[in-house]
Amino acid sequence: MPRLALLQSGTFPTKAESFDHHETLIRQAAAGGAQIVVTQELFLTPYFCTVQDPSLFDLADTLPGPVTDRLGKLAGKLGIVLVSSLFEHRGPGLYHNTAAIHDADGSLMGLYRKSHIPQDPAFEEKFYFTPGDSGWPVWDTKFGKIGVLICWDQWYPEAARLMALGGAQILVYPTAIGWLPEEKPTLGDAQHCAWETVQRGHAVANGCYLAAVNRTGTQGDTEFWGRSFVANPYGELVAKASTEREEILYHDLDFQAVEDFRRIWPFFRDRRIDGYGDLTKRWR
Q: Which residues are catalytic?
A: 41, 114, 151
- CB of 19 within 8 A of CB of 225? no
Secondary-structure percent of the chain, ordered helix, strand, coil, rounded to 5: 35, 30, 35
Exposed/middle/buried for residue 217 (C-beta within 10 Å: 0-12, 13-18, 19+): middle
Torsion region of 245: left, alpha or beta (phi above 0 gives left; psi -120 to 50 gives alpha): beta
Are β-strands 36-39 and 3-8 bridged in parallel, bridged antiparallel, or unpaired?
parallel
- Distance between CA 168 and CA 83 in Å, rounded? 15
